[in-house]
Structure 1
Amino acid sequence: MAEDHKPSEEPEKRESFDPSRFYSAAFKPLMDSYANWAADLSKQLSGTASVRFKVPRVTFVPPVVPANPVAEMLGRQLADLTNFNSVIRQAMEPLNQYYRDQWQGIFASLVELRRQVLPENLRDAAPNLKALETLLIDEGIPLMWVPGPKTVRALLDASDTAARRRVIGQRWRGIANDCTAILEGIDHPGLQDSRRFGLDVVRALRDGHTSAAQALAANLLDSLLHRHFDKASRLQLTKNEFKTKGVKFNLDDYKIRVALTFAPVWCAHARYFPTDGDPIPRVFGRHPSAHGVSRAQYTRINAVYGLMLVVSVLKFFDLEMSRR
């Protein structure tokens, strides 16, 4: 009797190596990290989250493979395979294109966000965090909407505080023109009186009445803050205790447009109490403009600082206030 024929066992199926799946799994965490960062930055720039000037640092370190005779042998065998590298390149090209398109999309979206949020005078300059902190917080130089892009570039290229004040002193006429252009574009109905006073500051400055220009700018700034902020918000933005407590304005505490507009306003509210024997500062300040009238405080350069501050704040309100 013939033996029953037993069907031969099917050979074990082995899953073929899929390079695209391997690299997708390997690089997915990295791409997810940057995608999340881009989404977070999008919220910050669009004004839905507090500003954050921190970019994740991701360093890819390839694994170290210890010397191994078997591994070396396999390596030599693989190297002998004809067209092996070209096959791998062809297999990986769709994946490379996929990630290349993702990167391009991320950076294109960031460029568009920068265009929407940053005023035109800052888009090409793209100052870094250190430069922003120096000019806005330490020196109180407004950068939002005014001055124009060429003056912004000159300020960023200047070597120190004295050089930047010289830039403002030398370019005051051009800065006055920049401020006029912004003021003429402010069309919110609730800001028209303030806009006209801003133009009065420009006229006084151009006519050589620098003291009058500075006094009006300082008082107009104070009026705007009282008119459009409640007391708690106003104090938060202007309470400058750096001299007594060493605490600076923190850009991370505010949405990006608020941070960049009101950091120099905070600087202009540096502590000054003549009753305490404080010396009259030579840089523009709201308090010494009111309580320390002198040749030290009242200068054409300080009048230009005051004008730029008023124009920046007016433009901020023009964009942010409801028009209903």
Structure 2
Amino acid sequence: MTEQHEEPTEDSQEESEKAQDEEADGEDLDRIEPVDLSRFYESAFNPLKDHFKQQNSQLAGIISNAARVRAQWAVPRIAIPVPLGVGAAVETLRKQMADLTGFNDAIRQALEPYTAFQAERWQRLFSSMAEAVRSIYPENLRELAPGLDEMETLLVDEGIPLMWVPAPRTVQALLEAPDAATRRRLIGRRWKGITNDCEAVLEGVEHPALQDARGFALDVVDALRGGHTNAAQALAANLLDSLLRGHVTETLRVQLTRNDFKAKGIKFKLDDYKFKVACTFAPVWYAHAKYFPAKGDAIPRTFGRHPSAHGVSKLQYSRINAIYALMLVTSVIKFFDTEMPR
């Protein structure tokens, strides 16, 4: 993982003190409920209860009758002495009784409608469950449905946004890339397509409270296309900060952006948050790596909110970092658009 840097003292100390006794206006993301599948399970299983009861009763009858017939015609496993001269007749009868293939076929045929029906029902049930699980993913991840283990390196260790943007083909390429350097080059090569992806998602943002942010994010798109990458990165970095201050509580904002990796080796823990919160804000956490220019910290090459504000330089400002910043604000805006009450 790229080395993390500390934020200027005046920012971090002030935020830490405020976090103890103040809250900004906005949404507490911990109150946003995850997808509730309990009703889905109930609606899926309840219609089957009576059918299962009836079918199980019929099956029990079939098995019970089969057991009685089998007991009547069972062939002893011990030798039975027979009078001389009737051995051949007894052996013929024994073979006839032992040949229960027809009986077994009858049982199988009797069970076929039951097993076929259940297989069809279970297939529909599992398909519905799979669809419900996939629904927690944004549109660009729905068909790929990557697990957290697959995404963790990209989200937490490299700060690559994956929620809502980029498009599925780019996400797949990023997941299949062998290392961080390859992924960063891939984003750099596909910057035009990723910019288009961000624009498409931003155009679909409908919440009234997000229209100003949407407009500024589209300004970032225009700046990038016009070759004004420095302006695009600066606007996106400040827009990200404004979004967090405007739509989450102060305490939660500090929690989501407290990047102590350099000092304490503590990473953002995806399991501590609901799925969409974790995957949206892990790259935001990465972008808030602490950076103290007064302590002589080197300006990082990867995008960061603090070096964008306090370390303006050709090292920090670049087209690829502007793309990272645009992806971040697009992802965060769309998250709020889907979760904030109308």
* TM-score, scaled relative to structure 1: 0.72
Residues 91-145 of structure 1 deviation map (CA, whole Å, 9 limit, x = unaligned): 5545534652454234222332245322221112222322210111111111111
State, as a whole percentage, how many aligned pairs show the same letter.
64
Structure with higher RCO (Cα < 8 A, 6+ apart): 2
Q: Which residue, out of 114, 117, 136, partners 2:155?
A: 136
1:46 matched to 2:23: no
Q: How far off its partner does 1:217 sit?
A: 0.5
What residue in structure 2 maps to residue 127 of structure 1? 146
1:197 matched to 2:197: no
What residue in structure 2 maps to residue 300 of structure 1? 319
Alignment of 1:80-229 (within 5 A): 81-83=100-102, 85-90=104-109, 92-93=111-112, 96-97=115-116, 99-101=118-120, 103-229=122-248
Structure 1 residue identity aligned to 2:321: N
1:318 matched to 2:337: yes
Q: CA RMSD in A?
A: 2.6
Decide whether aligned partners of structure 1 residues 84 and 138 sit closer, same or farther in structure 2, where only a CA change above 3 A counts: farther
Structure 1 residue identity aligned to 2:231: A
Structure 1 residue identity aligned to 2:153: T
Structure 2 residue identity aligned to 1:46: V
The range that moved more, 166-175 or 127-136, is 127-136
1:246 matched to 2:265: yes
Partner Cα distance (1:131, 1:143) in 2: 12
Residues 145-182 of structure 1 deviation map (CA, whole Å, 9 limit, x = unaligned): 11111211211121111111111111101111111111
Decide whether aligned partners of structure 1 residues 227 and 79 sit closer, same or farther in structure 2, where only a CA change above 3 A counts: farther
1:237 matched to 2:256: yes
Q: How far off its partner does 1:83 sit?
A: 3.8
Contact 1:45 1:114 in 2 (8 A): no
Contact 2:140 2:165 in 1 (8 A): yes
Q: How many residues align?
A: 257
What residue in structure 2 maps to residue 19 of structure 1? none
Alignment of 1:249-264 (within 5 A): 249-264=268-283
Partner Cα distance (2:275, 2:125) in 1: 20
Decide whether aligned partners of structure 1 residues 96 and 143 sit closer, same or farther in structure 2, where only a CA change above 3 A counts: same
* TM-score, scaled relative to structure 2: 0.69
Residues 197-226 of structure 1 deviation map (CA, whole Å, 9 limit, x = unaligned): 101111111111111111111100000000
Contact 2:234 2:308 in 1 (8 A): yes
Contact 1:47 1:256 in 2 (8 A): no
Contact 2:151 2:175 in 1 (8 A): no
Q: Which residue, out of 275, 282, 292, partners 1:273?
A: 292
Q: How far off its partner does 1:85 sit?
A: 4.8
SS of residue in 2 equivalent to 1:117? coil
Q: Is the radius of gyration larger for structure 1 or structure 2?
A: 2
Contact 1:114 1:123 in 2 (8 A): no
Q: How far off its partner does 1:80 sit?
A: 5.1
Q: Which runs of 5+ in 1 are unaligned?
A: 1-43, 50-72
Contact 1:198 1:311 in 2 (8 A): yes
